[in-house]
Amino acid sequence: MDSSNNQIDSSNNQINEKSDSALEQLKELTKSTPVLTQDQQKIFDLVFSSTVEIIKNAMNAQSTSDYFIVSLTVAEVIKAIEKSGLLGADKKALAIYMGRKILEQEASDKKELLILYDLSAETILERMIDVSKNVNSTVLTAIEKTKEEIQTLTKPKGCCTIM
């Protein structure tokens, strides 16, 4: 019986050591700071403070979950940089970077929140982009149909014949 307990304890210790090691590796990966381009830095400087305030207000709410904070952070950063002129990978990189910086500043004591952000922010961002594309496509289709209906309604109809 003692030998079984010792094996279980040994296995638990190995699992804990591997978990700690993986957590340390993740922390090291997330510490790497990408260098922003000049354009990215300008946009970052323009919108960072106002975006921080929105996130800070949400974090001060008593019942706000970490998942909500991560999702809100990604969403607010996207809104802040949407009309920045950046495209594709540059915009995405700035969004991920800015969200991380906001949470580092406002929740540096919440390591779990930062890890959750690092693990899920890019996926959340991709999903939001996908939803946005589908919504935009639907809206554009509706606009085109409305234009066609207006043109049909405003075409002159021959009601009188002039001789």
Residue type, 13: N
pLDDT digits (tens, 9 = 90+) for 62-96: 677 889 899 999 999 999 998 888 888 889 999 99
Q: From residue 92, how far is each of 36, 86, 133 by CA, in Å?
A: 12, 9, 15
Residue 93 structure tokens: 């990189």
Give the residue among 31, 127, 26 at the shortest CA–CA distance from 71: 127
40 belongs to a structural domain: yes
Asked if 101 contacts 112 with a C-beta cutoff of 8 angstroms, the reply is no
pLDDT digits (tens, 9 = 90+) for 94-134: 999 999 999 999 888 888 999 999 999 999 999 988 888 77
Residue 101 CA, chain-centre distance (Å), reads 13
Question: For the chain, how many structural domains are there in total?
Answer: 1
Q: Indicate the average pLDDT of the chain.
A: 79
Give the residue among 122, 84, 83, 79 at the shortest CA–CA distance from 100: 122
139 belongs to a structural domain: no
Distance CA 15, CA 21 (A): 10
161 belongs to a structural domain: no
Residue numbers of the domain that contains 42: 35-129
Question: Is the full-model pTM beyond 0.85?
Answer: no
- Percent of the chain predicted with pLDDT > 90: 25
